[in-house]
Structure 1
């Protein structure tokens, strides 16, 4: 088979068997096409490449100045491709099995404090060309902060799960895994208000002979619902309107804020892991480092002994004669 056939067959199988998300499929497809092009320039292909060539490709990626996380993702796609090829009998060996990657640097996620989130939520209530826009934007932001959903999970929610004033929502996460997330009172209020105006619009469509949408946040686009890119731009606009630095605000920042604020208020890691849909609690543990850093900053900024001007320069204290 040629390289394109390898890639498409591998990704189709991953999507069918493991429920690989479309975003992950797209990333793997890009990575594997880049690798295939590199092999072609070195007179090789997926079928003939050996361990030395795979290692040569990783050296090339490093020399290109690619981020550690990008190199790790590219190797992950290659290792999974060759594991699949070996299992399917396309190759009698797995040239990637002994290759160790650069790993992933543990970087503290950017997050927002509570007043910043409040300003974003306030901005959502007044941002939009119409009442419909404002109610939709408010519902999106309240749901995102209340549940910690990934933005793809949020924009693709089916309307059926929102019926009946639910206290919890059933979310379809990565790999087709379902989880329940609770709704805060403000999120439930925003959801009810949005459903009312959304359903009126869908009734108008039905009266015109148009099929109703099955999504909570319908759109006329190809997907049938709002897109990640659309929401990314919305949240940047809300940051500007709310006086929050746009550089700090992304859809994932709200997910980080959800987890960090829960942890700061006493939630345990296992509960947060479940709510976020993390397969491994080790992924959730990054938020303990975020909290540690915030507490350290709090002490350094506010504790009297952390301020040099408050220290007793002579090192003596009053002991009332004792």
Structure 2
């Protein structure tokens, strides 16, 4: 468990995710949390999503979300583009969201109309602040949650639901299974259950 920014980010439940989501005021940042929960991608890549990574030219939602290689962390010495099928709940969030027509970014900063500044995407620091504030408002600050919790939760819940490690590895974009081990959380009841099957 993460304590004072040390250790592993904690895994959280769908119920806790919903509680955190209700504490986020903006539809834009609710969508950011939805993308994190349903894709397992790192927040550094999420904030760099462009509208065309999720939407067709006619603004219909694509079948996959595309995380471009240059936005992703290196795994095995190289960056790789990753595509994740869009979950039905995420599709609903994307359909009800209207991207800023003046920006290529899905999560642009606020534009300055005085200087006609071109909008850029929000920073990771700002996204982290939004998440942490929502966690506090949800009363979950003692749980050791961070933005990385969504990635660990994605992998852990897939494993607990019986998804093969090979499929989880592919969904997270890892070259080998060794990298996956740190993402899947195992609790005592699961250990007891495994022994009981002998």
Q: What range is the shorter-chain TM-score in? A: 0.7 to 0.9
User: In structure 1, which of residues 273, 283, 289 is the aligned counterpart of residue 179 of structure 2?
Assistant: 283
SS at match of 1:214: coil
- Tell me, yes or no, if the aligned pair for 1:236 and 1:246 is still in contact at 8 Å: no
Does residue 251 of structure 1 match 2:147? yes
Residues 125-177 of structure 1, C-alpha deviation per residue, up to 9 Å, x if partnerless?
xx2xxxxxx21011111111000011011000011122121221111233441
User: In structure 1, which of residues 257, 262, 267 is the aligned counterpart of residue 158 of structure 2?
Assistant: 262
Shift of 1:294: 5.2
- Which residue number in structure 1 is paired with residue 36 of structure 2? 144
Shift of 1:287: 4.0
Shift of 1:267: 0.8
CA distance change for structure 1 residues 280 and 109 in 2, over 3 Å: closer, same or farther? Answer: farther
CA distance change for structure 1 residues 287 and 162 in 2, over 3 Å: closer, same or farther? Answer: closer
Gaps of 5+ in 1: 1-106, 128-133, 203-211, 304-322
Report the count of equivalent residues: 172
SS at match of 1:115: helix
SS at match of 2:83: strand
Structure 1 length-normalised TM:
0.48
RMSD of the TM alignment (CA)? Answer: 2.6
What is the alpha-carbon distance in structure 2 between the residues aligned to residue 117 and residue 284 of structure 1? 22
- Tell me, yes or no, if the aligned pair for 1:119 and 1:243 is still in contact at 8 Å: no
Identify which of structures 1 and 2 has the higher relative contact order when contacts are C-alpha pairs closer than 8 Å and 6+ apart: 2
- Which residue number in structure 2 is paired with residue 17 of structure 1? none
CA distance change for structure 1 residues 246 and 156 in 2, over 3 Å: closer, same or farther? Answer: farther
- After the TM superposition, which segments of 4 or more aligned residues of structure 1 sit over 3 Å from their partners? 220-223, 296-299
Structure with higher Rg: it is: 1
- Tell me, yes or no, if the aligned pair for 1:235 and 1:249 is still in contact at 8 Å: no
- Which residue number in structure 1 is paired with residue 114 of structure 2? none
- Which residue number in structure 2 is paired with residue 121 of structure 1? 21
- Which residue number in structure 2 is paired with residue 182 of structure 1? 85
What is the alpha-carbon distance in structure 2 between the residues aligned to residue 228 and residue 246 of structure 1? 22
- Which residue number in structure 1 is paired with residue 27 of structure 2? 135
- Tell me, yes or no, if the aligned pair for 2:155 and 2:183 is still in contact at 8 Å: yes
User: In structure 1, which of residues 75, 98, 110 is the aligned counterpart of residue 10 of structure 2?
Assistant: 110
- Tell me, yes or no, if the aligned pair for 2:67 and 2:81 is still in contact at 8 Å: yes
Report which of the two has the higher share of helix: 1
Shift of 1:112: 1.3
Gaps of 5+ in 2: 1-6, 112-117
CA distance change for structure 1 residues 227 and 297 in 2, over 3 Å: closer, same or farther? Answer: farther
Does residue 295 of structure 1 match 2:159? no
CA distance change for structure 1 residues 271 and 286 in 2, over 3 Å: closer, same or farther? Answer: same
